[in-house]
Each structure stands twice: as structure tokens, then as C-alpha cells.
Structure 1
């Protein structure tokens, strides 16, 4: 009888503890911390992409960060991609700059976002210390910027691979080569060396690489504020053909504070512009526009051997657009 009472008491205590934990999760919103409308692919490589974000939590940064966490939880994100302009208005000055806390660590707090963040440099980052952002790689568990430009290869479930190349697009922008806050950083960069590295990396990719993705800050095309800007036009003239030649499937960028997907007729590469993680500006269409919205948000990417699925999510968790690239 005593043993039976002990078992009943033990079961009641265990159930009570479980109930308290369940209620705590309900109260915290954990069990509501998903976006069930997001499509899921079986055995896929998954990541979230954002840009132009570091604004001390202001504008839409906090609500976007909240939905990013939910999206990353839903798709079981493997990592995060940042396309630059990580800290407004003038970058960071050191690894101890408070903006690491106020614009990054204290904003992206969901546990699903505590994985690797592969980060590119934007023009506002060039106003501060580039070296500080490189050095923070050694400070932070998740911040990954081993160099101003670098590459990373990921394995897919069937043995195929994904090559991701992160560019530093800033030195290629002619208007930045004028005296000003960025000038000293810009003129210190060797564009010939980076271009050679880029082409060799794309050309000599592992034979098992099924997908090639390039990440950079500046867009090839835009229907937004910089649609006819000479910097945009010249950047496309310099790199659109290179990306086509080496069969780059996706170019992920920002700079424009909106959400756009563009694939001009005759081009191989699709551009995914995700620069609306904080401030938002009006946008529009251009040749090859598949999607354009002036809303705060981000994009999710899911990749299998034969499919690349992209979903555009706004700051309220609404799916704005979904598209796929398919391969045999």
C-alpha cells in the first residue's frame, strides 16, 4: 500500500511539474512561436536572409526580428545571411562598441537565431571600423565575418553541395571614391584581387556543387529608389554577365530598403533583394520584376538537390510571396 501511495505521489508530482512547464511555455508564447503558413521541404538546407538592419531596434527592426525568430524556428534554420549595412549610421568603432548590444545581441534573441550569421559589409559599415566587424568573429559565437569577402560550402542530404560566396561590393561603387567618411576604407581595397578571387571561386567549384549563391550588399537591378542610379547600372554591367557565365543561381543583396525579386529576360541569375529589416522606402518595378513590396521583412531560403524555395515574410509574419527555382 505504501508503495502504491508513493507511486501515485511521484506521478502526481511529475504531472504537476510537467503541467507547470507546459503552462509556462504557453504563457511565454513559445508554443505560438511559429509561422505555420511557411512551406517546408523535406531534408532541406534552410536559412533566413536580412539586410540593412542595425538601428538600435528602431523603425521595424524589433518586429522583424521577432518574426525572423518564428520563421527560423518553423523551418529549422541552419544559419542566417546578412547582406550588409549592419550598423547605422556609421558602423562600429571597436568590438566593444555598444551597438553590438543595442543593435544586434539584444534584438535577435530567439534561440533559433543563435546559429551562424554569415555577414557581408555595407556602405554604412564602411563609415566605421571594418576591422572591428572582422574581429567580432572571434568574440561572438554566431557572428561570422572571417574576411571582407569569403566563401562557404554546405552539404545537402544526398551528397550534393551549396556554394555560398560573400562579396564585398563597396569598393566597386565609383561614387564612393570621393573624399568623405568612406574614402580611406574604400581606396584601401584591391578590387582586382577580389574579382580574380570571385571568378576563380565560382569557376573552380567542387564538382558536387549543385547550387551557387552569391551574397553582396549592392543590387544588380532595382525598381526602387536607385532604379536608374549610375552605381546600380555600372554594378550590373560589371557582374551580371559574370554571374550568368558561372551559373550563379541566386544573388542575395540589399541596399534598397524594400523587398524585391528580379530576373531580367535572358539572365540566368535571379536576384533576391532583402533590405527591409528596419527602415522601409517606396519601391516599384523594373525589367524582370517578379515581386516588389514596400514592407518591412526578410526572406527564407530552403534548398534541396533539385529545388530552391524562397518565401518573403513581412514584420507581421505574413507570407507576401513564394517562388521556386527547380533543377533536375
Structure 2
């Protein structure tokens, strides 16, 4: 009798665990990804190098952060993503305190937990990250198997399968932004050696000038169709001359809590904003606006030797913008 009761009790205790394990398998099983798909009309190449871009996300799962993370996982599965890029403001409002800060769990690890998000993340600092211990975000690279921030600024050269290469340059734009010189809460940004970073930036662009594609990532947009329209000229004056001089193909930023593609007259650089990782703000149509939407979401970028494509995907899994650029500079939306 006691044996039967013990077996019955064991069965009852194990049942919820087995059900939870089964539910977990169902959530991230093949059926889940077959029934949740992103409808993309862009032609895929088996040789594409694919990465997701998200920014301004670290809000402990609030606003649209969880739903954006869900569709990022689906996109990473569907498009076989190679990496994820963050455009900064990784932890609101005041960065993090240390590598042991609970925000690592509540804003990052427990949010981006889909199985296809456990690929390399390459991360830049935003202005809010400078309101905390920015060095801890670099140090976390030695703890995490996916978080990569080897320094405040760095680059990565990617060899494409069919030949050719993509040069990714990751900037730390807060120290380069003259607007922060007189803001007390951002004085830490002005203690950094901006001249050394600019010298490094030019040298790395020069060193890899023969790359098929050059894409620069920074937190601050140089053009904005959002809240900061008309307020980006200072940082633009620092960064844009080098983008133009070294024929950079695209500059991808965050800072604005929305999704944008801006094409300023006379510039050969495509300017994108992917800052819809959680909270969103209004946008407008400006003289250089190709696309702007007050929407949470992220970007999917695919590159091969001949073409660069970008899609913005919102927090409902809908493709809200597509752009393709051929290497001969012909574009099609």
C-alpha cells in the first residue's frame, strides 16, 4: 500500500515537470516555426551572410521588448542568421552597475532566450550605457558565450562564401558627439579619447578599403526623421566626412525609438535607424526620408557579393519595409 502511494505521489510530482518539458518542446519545436513565419518577398541566396539589427531595447521586458525578441528568434531561424548586432542603449535608464547586475538577466538573458538567438551578438554602447558602468559591458564578453564587445570600438571582416568580404565597423559615437560636452549626465563620454577613435576609424577604413561592402554601426544617427530631426548636425559633422571619403555603403544607428531609412541628397551612404527594440516614439516625413515608422521591431540584413538587402520587421512579425541595393549602386524598394 505504501509503495502504491509512493508511486502515485511520484507520478503526481513529476507530471507538472513532464508537462512543462513537453510544453517547452512544443513552443520551440518545428510546428512552432512553421506556424509563425515572416512573409518576405526578397529573393534569398544560399550564399547570403545574414544578421539582425536591434537597438534601444534594455527595459526588463517592458513595452514591446518581449514581442520583438519573439520575432527576432523566428527571423533568426527562418533566415539562418549568422549574428545579431545591437545599436546601443542596451540598459535603461542608467546602464548597469557591474557584470553581476540583475539587469543582465531581466533585460537580456531572460528576454532573448529563444534557441536561435544564442548566436554571436556584436554590441555597441549608447548614451544611456554611459550613465552606468560601461566597462562592465565590455567585461561581460568574457562571461557570456554570445555577448561580444571587445572594446569601445572595434571592427570585423567577414569573408563571404562565394568570395568577397564585408567589413563591419562598430563605433562608440557618444564620445564623438559634441552635444554632450555640456550635459552633466554624459560627462563620462567626454573623458574618452575621441581623437584616438577617429584616427583608428580612418585607419581601419583605409586598411579594408577593398572590401566589397563596408557597413558602419553606431548609436547616434546622422540624419533623423524622428524626435531628433534637425538636432544631429554636430555628430554628423564628425562622422559623415569619413563615411563619404571611404565610400561606406551603409550607416546603421539606433538612438531614435523607431525604424527609419534616410537618403540625404548628394550622399552615396544609406542611413538606417533600427532603434525599435522596446519603447517607440513618433516620426515624421522629412526631406531625406525614404521610410520612417513609429514601430517596434528590428532589421534583417542579408549581404552577398552582389547585393545588400534590408527588411524592417515589426513586433507582430510583419515586414513593413524592404530595400535592396546592388553593388553597382542600383536600388529597388
TM-score by length of 1: 0.89
CA distance in 2, matches of 1:109, 1:38: 28
Q: What is the total number of aligned residue pairs between the two structures?
A: 305
Comparing 233-242 with 76-85, greater Cα deviation is found at: 233-242
- The match for 1:4 is none
- Preserved contact between residue 64 and residue 296 of structure 2 (Cα < 8 Å): yes
CA distance in 1, matches of 2:171, 2:311: 23
SS in 2 for 1:182: helix
CA distance in 1, matches of 2:257, 2:27: 38
CA deviation string 1:165-189 (max 9, x = no partner): 0000001222322352331x22320
1:211 and 2:213 correspond: yes
SS in 2 for 1:199: helix
- The match for 2:15 is none
| Superposition map of 1:20-169 within 5 A | 29-37=32-40, 39=42, 40-169=44-173
Change (3 A) 1:24 1:108: closer
- Preserved contact between residue 56 and residue 257 of structure 2 (Cα < 8 Å): yes
Q: Please, which runs of 5 or more residues in structure 2 have no aligned partner?
A: 1-22, 329-333
Change (3 A) 1:228 1:139: same
- How far residue 29 of structure 1 moved from its aligned partner, in angstroms, is 2.2
Match of 2:198 among 195, 199, 204: 195
CA distance in 2, matches of 1:200, 1:81: 23
- How far residue 325 of structure 1 moved from its aligned partner, in angstroms, is 1.0
CA distance in 1, matches of 2:227, 2:178: 18
Q: Please, which runs of 5 or more residues in structure 1 have no aligned partner?
A: 1-19
CA distance in 2, matches of 1:126, 1:313: 28
CA distance in 2, matches of 1:234, 1:176: 10
Change (3 A) 1:23 1:102: closer
- The match for 2:10 is none
1:241 and 2:237 correspond: no
SS in 1 for 2:71: helix
